[in-house]
Structure formats: C-alpha cells, structure tokens
Amino acid sequence: MISGWGRYPRLPSEVVRPAPGSLPDAMSGGPVIARGAGRAYGDAAVSLRRTVQMDRHDRMLDFDAETGLLVAEAGVTLGQIIDAFLPRGWFPAVTPGTRFVTLGGAIAADVHGKNHHRDGAFRSCVAWLDLVGPDGTEQRCSSQQNADLFDWTLGGMGLTGIVTRAAIRLRRVESAWIAQKTIPCANLTDTMAAFEANADATYSVAWIDCLATGAARGRSLLMLGEHATAQQSKRRNPLATPKTDSKSVPFDLPGWALNGLTVKAFNAFYWRKGKSGPRQSLVDWQSFFYPLDAILGWNRIYGRKGFVQFQCALPLDTAQTGLEALLDEIAAARAGSFLAVLKRLGPGAGKFSFPMEGYTLALDFPVSDKVLALLERLDAITIAHGGRFYLAKDARMKAATLRAADPRADNLKRMRDEMGLSAGFRSAQSERLAL
Ligand SMILES: Cc1cc2nc3c(=O)[nH]c(=O)nc-3n(C[C@H](O)[C@H](O)[C@H](O)COP(=O)(O)OP(=O)(O)OC[C@H]3O[C@@H](n4cnc5c(N)ncnc54)[C@H](O)[C@@H]3O)c2cc1C
C-alpha cells in the first residue's frame, strides 16, 4: 500500500525501482506513473498498477560554474542540490516549501515558491529535460525542441512521460542567510495591501490565522525575504549552513489531538508571538524556506487517517471576495487548520501549470467526513470566483469539479489520447479526474 504525503488515500500498487538504463523494462506492460519523493499530498504519484520510483536516478552529471547550469538525474532532490552547491554560492532559483522534492517531481508539478510573483514557477529555471515516452524512447524537450511536449510536461503531473534528467539554472547567492522582514497585518484587506505594496520583495508569504473572524478575518504575518549579502550575514563563512536539529515525530498522534479549540488556541498564540517579535531579522535558509522540514515526518501529527490539503488560486479581480468567502466557510466549520498560507502569484505559463496571476491559499485539514464535505463547499466557492486547483495537493476532487474550474483539463486529455500517452501513463489521480 502506498500513499502521498497526506497518507490519504492509501492504495495498493506494485512499486518498482529501476536503475538508469532499465527504465524501458520497468515500463513494459504499463500503464505506469513516475514517483519522486512522494511529497505530493494525494494520489498523483501513486499508480493503481505499477509505480516507478525514481530514487536510483540520483546522480548530478554536470555543472557550469559560469552560468550556474546544473544537469542532474530526475531523482536528485533540491536538498541534495543545496548541500552540494550552496557552499559554492548557488541556490535553487525556485523552490517549494520543502527541500525533500525531486527534480522530476518539481518539473511535473511545475512547483512555485515564495518568489512566483517575481520569477515565475519552476519552469523558469528549466533549460531542458529528457522525457521517456510510452514506447521507452527518450526525447529532449525545451522551449526550442519538442516545445509542445515541454509545455505539457511542466505541470503535467507525470502524465506525459517519465523525466530522466534535466538541466536547471541555479541562482548565485553570497550567503546562506536571508534578511527577513515580518509585517503583522490586522485583516485580509491589510494583508493584500501589504503584498501589493511589497511586490518588489524577492520572496513573500503570509501565514494566515484562518479561524479569526469579524474585523480580524484574514489577520496574518507577512514574511518578506532577500538573500543576504556576505557582508550583511556578518559571518566569517557566509555560505556555511548553521547546524540545526531535525526532530522526528515518533508515532501517530491520536486524531482528537487536533480540533477546533486546540488549533484556534495555537493560531492565536502564533499570531500574538509574531506580532510582538522582531520586525527585521537574519534567518538561515532552512528556517526561511523550509520551516516544516525541521520536523521530519510531521505528516504523522495528523493521526492515522491522514490529512488533506486544499490549495486554490484565485484571479486578481476576484481574489479578495473569494478569499473572504473561503475564510468565512472555514471559520464557520471550525474544522481546524494549523497551516493557512497565502502567496501572491505572478502570471502563469505553460499548458497545464497551476499558477495564475492572483493569490493562492493553501490549508491542511485532518481527514474526516466533515472536512471532506467542507472541501466540496470550498471547491464551489473557488469555481464561483474563477479560480483553479493545485493537483499536487489534491487527493479527493471530482472530475467534474476540475472540468468546471479548468477547461485545460480536456485539452490535456485530448493531447494524451492523440499521442498515445493515456495507455502508458496513469496515476490514481488521473483516473479519478478522468485525465
Ligand atoms: C511540506 C510541503 C510543502 C510544499 N510546498 C509547496 C510549495 O510551496 N509550492 C509548490 O508548488 N508545491 C509545494 N509542495 C508540493 C510539492 O512541491 C510537489 O508535490 C512536488 O511535486 C513533490 O515532488 P516529489 O519529488 O515528492 O514528487 P512526487 O510526490 O513523488 O510526485 C509528484 C508528481 O510528479 C510526478 N513525477 C515525479 N517524478 C517524476 C519523473 N521523474 N518524471 C515524471 N513525473 C514525475 C508524479 O507522477 C506526480 O504526478 C509542498 C509539499 C510539502 C509536503
């Protein structure tokens, strides 16, 4: 039985771990789906037949120290890249909120970071990728070569083939430190105004107290960040990573540990602490980009039933009313989400990538019938406001919901049928969503 990061749903699958070179054998008799580090929350990297785990494709192959172009196999994680290249002054140009993702997974989901409004999604740093098709042959794809396939693959959730290697551009940095500014915002209007006023910040993200209501609805801590220069870092070795302890969650917490009351108390405490804390600080790269990675296996906090994430993007013109409606619905349900994260997205790109110009809200919930019913209501609000859903977080959406939100889903299905990809690549998610 395997599952994604949310541990819901858990499904039976034959898992194979081919070495580079033996991928065509592992794929024969498909359909299959590629799996990276299994950090997608739901069933995107789970096949109801055969799941092809890419962890043996883990070599870095070439690096150009002039341009920062790294060629690596698809199973290499962003964490491994940081370990190897931060000491030499390079950092991923785009990163999601965990470093435990693979290159293949980052490409397939076209992940976005806290700098999407400035730099776009992962696609913006991918120079080319090699993709193995249903007959086992490999093609190089870039914006010049097999451009259509390149466009579908970035955000295509593994449904266009298996990425074996890619060339990505890293960003030059002078230190392992981030100059962080924290802005407490009293409500959603303040939060959005602060995002817009700080559009030139390289990184921005807001943590929202999603249970605050009335005048405090949407109160948040907006965090802005810039890579610190060597001088600002005030360290003898500015590129050295400070030692931090990673803690593991040793067992599943009982489901009742997380309820409306405990979450409300936590959120209120966190907001007050952030509000009274320092406004300007120097934080290490791990704390800024990957606060959750410090607690290994934190997905077990949600108990044995697992948890689900809801993440939507709303266009600029409806973002405020849409977010208000979502927050009202969540507060009324008292369903409890520790993590409500809001980001400003810049323009989207590609044929099936998630980001669109506007705002994206992401929230975690422990799985229960009540939560699943709430999520259906959040789906409807998102659709009514012209928004769309992030498949890397989805574990339970209906095919009709996706179609109502995103007309591109039918284009993906048509392209897959025409190119013979539907028979070769299927995930539990693609079957559920009729992709
Ligand atoms: C704590 C946390 C924070 C996160 N924060 C963010 C965030 O800020 N922004 C964001 O965009 N995402 C975020 N995510 C989601 C995560 O970035 C994506 O789900 C990413 O795709 C996971 O990569 P993975 O290697 O674990 O892939 P998996 O979960 O194993 O697979 C994800 C998808 O990629 C496909 N895939 C994997 N490898 C290959 C390959 N070699 N070839 C073809 N397809 C492949 C799979 O088929 C599947 O469809 C977060 C996830 C977690 C757990």
- pLDDT per position as a tens digit, 105-145: 999 999 999 999 999 999 999 999 999 999 999 999 999 99
* Residues sharing a CB contact under 8 Å with residue 409, sequence separation 6 or more, in sequence order: 352, 402, 403, 433, 435
Q: What pTM was estimated for this model as a whole?
A: 0.95
334 pLDDT more than 60? yes
Instruction: State if residue 129 touches ligand 1 by the CB under 6 angstroms criterion.
Output: no
Instruction: State if residue 362 touches ligand 1 by the CB under 6 angstroms criterion.
Output: no
Ligand 1 centre to CA of 161 (Å) is 15
pLDDT digits (tens, 9 = 90+) for 173-221: 999 999 999 999 999 999 999 999 999 999 999 999 988 899 999 999 9
**Atom of ligand 1 minimally distant from the CA of 37:** 26
Instruction: State if residue 162 touches ligand 1 by the CB under 6 angstroms criterion.
Output: yes
**d(C-alpha 39, C-alpha 138), whole Å:** 25
Instruction: State if residue 424 touches ligand 1 by the CB under 6 angstroms criterion.
Output: no
- Per-residue pLDDT band for 335 (boundaries 50, 70, 90) equals confident
29 pLDDT more than 90? no
- Give which of 48, 171, 29, 52 is closest to 108, Cα–Cα: 52
Amino acid at 426: R
Give strand ranges (E) for 333-412. 340-345, 358-366, 388-389
Instruction: State if residue 40 touches ligand 1 by the CB under 6 angstroms criterion.
Output: yes
238 neighbors 227 (Cβ within 8 angstroms): no
| CA-closest residue to ligand 1 atom 44 | 158
How far CA 356 is from CA of 14, 155, 241, 336, in Å, comes to: 36, 13, 34, 27
Ligand 1 centre to CA of 108 (Å) is 7
135 neighbors 48 (Cβ within 8 angstroms): no
Instruction: State if residue 70 touches ligand 1 by the CB under 6 angstroms criterion.
Output: no
**d(C-alpha 156, C-alpha 160), whole Å:** 6
Ligand 1 centre to CA of 110 (Å) is 8
**Atom of ligand 1 minimally distant from the CA of 74:** 41
Average pLDDT of span 235-255: 74
Q: Give the model's pLDDT for residue 252.
A: 59
Instruction: State if residue 98 touches ligand 1 by the CB under 6 angstroms criterion.
Output: yes
Average pLDDT of span 314-334: 95
**d(C-alpha 229, C-alpha 396), whole Å:** 44
pLDDT digits (tens, 9 = 90+) for 267-293: 666 767 777 776 889 999 999 999 888
